[in-house]
Amino acid sequence: MTPLFKPIISSVPSLRLREPLAQTLGAFQQEDAIVEYTFAETVKMAGHACPTVSGAWIVCVKALEALYPGEIPVRGEIEVTVFGEPDEGVYGVMAQVISFITGAAPVSGFKGLGHKFRRKDLLRYSKSKPDHEALCFQFRRVDHNRSVFIKYFPRRVPFSQEKAVRLGELMEKVIWEATLPGELAEFQDLWMEKVNIIVHKHTDIDDWLKIEERKE
């Protein structure tokens, strides 16, 4: 991994998926090639790492583990419902990450080759609110009757009140370019500490990420 990224980002285990569309169109030299998606690539796509981007990453990781037990997930064969509007809170940002990893696209997505490989409308937004305290998503395999419902509670991610207050103070200074020597580094360390809890340590994950398997 390129040294551009901090170890927190570069050491996150990658996601391995099959990508039949790219294989069909000749992007891969071997059959049944596996594509690895890394958290570092996700950070490059989003332009930053934060609890939102990190949360979307871990939501995908856990959803795909549940949908494809013992199998390699198939990109482009996963339908995702986002229970929020694209311009509401962080739903749009999380949906971009989910789309990047799963291939599920909104109305602007790839229409497919004939009856195959359609990505358009595999990612949908819903106004319903299954849980007002959580960010909710449903992932469904298009080749299977299995789906998983996931609730992400970003406010429950363990981070001390003292650190949260200090992070807020430092963020304001960073925004207004008023940091004292050493404060930018302090801010970055605190910020990445929370990212690390989500994507790497998974501290108390059962408290802030709930997964429910469903059959339709």
Helix (H) or strand (E) holding 79: strand 78-82
Residues spanned by the domain of 50: 14-156+205-215
Ramachandran sector of residue 207 (left: φ over 0; alpha: ψ -120 to 50; beta: rest): alpha
Helix (H) or strand (E) holding 149: strand 146-152
Is residue 129 assigned to a domain? yes
Is residue 191 assigned to a domain? no
User: How does pLDDT run along the chain (216 residues), one tens digit per residue?
Assistant: 446 677 889 899 999 999 988 888 888 777 777 899 999 999 999 999 999 999 999 999 999 999 999 999 999 999 999 999 999 999 999 999 999 999 999 988 888 788 888 889 999 999 999 999 999 999 999 998 789 999 999 999 999 999 999 999 999 999 999 999 999 999 999 999 999 999 999 999 999 999 998 766
CATH, residue 50? 3.30.1330.20
Is residue 40 assigned to a domain? yes
Is residue 120 assigned to a domain? yes
Type of residue at 78: I
Is residue 179 assigned to a domain? no
Is residue 1 assigned to a domain? no
3-state helix vs strand vs coil in the chain, percent to 5: 40, 20, 40
Distance of CA 48 to the CA centre of its chain: 12
Is residue 50 assigned to a domain? yes
DSSP label at residue 195: H
Question: How many structural domains comprise the chain?
Answer: 1
